[in-house]
Amino acid sequence: GSIGYHSDDGKIFLSNKEIASKYQFKEKDLVGCGIDSLGKTFFTLNGKLIYMSSERINNNSQLYPSIGVKNKVKAAFNFGQKK
């Protein structure tokens, strides 16, 4: 499965099913996506929690982080090495 957060309409999808409609984001916003210690995925916007999944990710799952963009963007990624 997959989970995604769309900037254009603020919708969050889990395996192609809309599960939440939250906040649209725009240029200069800081979007975070992570997995907590219980295996639940979450999204943040400018440092504030906006979505926490009620489902847990299987500990044996292989994860493939990705970003999809329509235009040129500047993006940075942190896989836990920066705090």
pLDDT on residue 83: 64
Do 49 and 34 contact (CB within 8 A), yes or no? no
Q: Is the model's pLDDT at 44 over the cut of 80?
A: yes
Q: Is the model's pLDDT at 31 over the cut of 80?
A: yes
Over residues 50-73, mean pLDDT = 82
Distance CA 79, CA 83 (A): 10
49 forms bridges with which residues in the sheet? 44
Q: Is the model's pLDDT at 59 over the cut of 80?
A: no
Q: What percent of the chain has pLDDT over 70?
A: 98
Sheet strands side by side (includes 31-35) = 31-35, 40-45, 48-56
Whose CA is closest to 12, among 24, 27, 1? Answer: 24
Over residues 44-51, mean pLDDT = 92
18 forms bridges with which residues in the sheet? 13
